[in-house]
Homo-oligomer: A and B are copies of this chain.
Amino acid sequence: MKINDFLRYMECEGLKKVVLTKRENINYFLGKYFPFFSVLVFEEKPILYVGELDLEYAKDNLNIEVRKFTGWKEIFEGCDGVESELKIEFLKYLDNYKIVSEKLRELRAIKEKEEIEKIKKAAKISDKAMKYIIENPEGNEREKAIELEYLMRKEGAIKAAFDSIVVSGRKTSYPHALPEDREIKDILLVDIGACYEGYCSDITRTLLLNERGEFREIYNLVKEAKELVEDYLREGVSTKFLDLKVREYFKEYEKYFIHSLGHGVGLEVHEFPTVSKKEEIILKENMVITIEPGIYIKDKFGVRLEDLYLIKKDGFEKLSKVTL
């Protein structure tokens, strides 16, 4: 399917040879998690070039023609299509070329059945870890992050999809921060993801360990903002509209919402489409995105709630299911 779609695109665009070097684009077409050096070349059909050392492994484990990589000159000979992420060091091999990344982004954004299954599994794994920390929030930030990652690995993840965020107290006022060797207290923000067969999940919960009026008020505002988005979430809605809806809802707190509302998730934890006020993208069926409103008050605390959604014709399926 994917391969034929891309070959058809090449034909329509009059492209003779496309070279892909970005790992996630390659793995997309392989339909497998292959972490070793490789280059995917599309001519009449796709051919994967790998180092001599990985030749037998690739042949035995991938459903694609595999050849030995012998040098970049051969790879780029006659190439007229490349990714926007191609390193400029390869420019010397290129003459005229077209960037094919928009097509790749589009293809990858609409998930196929097997991709959805893998993302669902990744979401299930991060749900298990999130459930564990919700039930056991006491301890040390760093140690807790390690336990969560261990749990995700045991549930089938190849690795964490990104450096786990397990931070507490004032540190929650940073949307991103690394766990440290310090006791968890007051408010705990956990943003984790699993990588299952190359596909990612992404979920955030904020736990109020010491209830205070102020926390609860902000927490509810963020929670309601996410629910508001869910009211509109379906094929055909604009990402910009959703982001602006949340900003409008936050009123005087809008200035504390210092990131986009969400992003696509798949082989990369951040991929097309972004859900932000900066760009208008119309959601389509089988896109997978996060919605993650957040309010961060400097030197005090932050609250973020993030879920993972599969977009449907008339709504969505929430893939991250763990509740507080």
Interface residues of A (CB under 8 A from B): 33, 35-36, 51-54, 56-57, 60, 82, 84-91, 99, 101, 146, 149-150, 153-154, 158-160, 162-163, 173-178, 258-259, 296, 298
Contacts and interface: CB of A to CB of B under 8 A. Distances in A.
Contacts of A173: 56
20 contacts: A36-B176, A51-B259, A52-B258, A53-B259, A54-B174, A54-B176, A56-B174, A57-B177, A84-B87, A85-B87, A85-B88, A87-B88, A88-B90, A88-B91, A88-B99, A89-B99, A149-B150, A158-B178, A159-B159, A159-B163
A311 to B, nearest CB: 24
Nearest to A51: B259
Count the copies: 2
Contacts of A52: 258-259
A85 to B, nearest CB: 5
Given A146-B150, A159-B160, A53 B87 contact: no
Contacts of A153: 146, 149-150
A101 B101 CA distance: 25
A37 to B, nearest CB: 9
A87 B86 contact: yes
Contacts of A36: 176
A324 to B, nearest CB: 23
B57 A176 contact: yes
Contacts of A178: 33, 35, 158
A115 B90 CA distance: 31
Most chain B CB within 10 A, of A53, A82, A86, is at: A53
A149 B259 CA distance: 32
Contacts of A90: 88
A176 B60 CA distance: 12
Of A85, A153, A159, the most chain B CB neighbours within 10 A belong to: A153
Contacts of A296: 53
Contacts of A163: 35, 158-159
Given A57-B177, A159-B160, 14 more contacts: A35-B178, A53-B258, A54-B176, A56-B173, A56-B298, A57-B174, A57-B175, A82-B88, A84-B89, A86-B87, A87-B88, A89-B99, A91-B91, A158-B163
Contacts of A149: 150, 153
Contacts of A177: 57
A6 B54 CA distance: 37
A277 B150 CA distance: 40
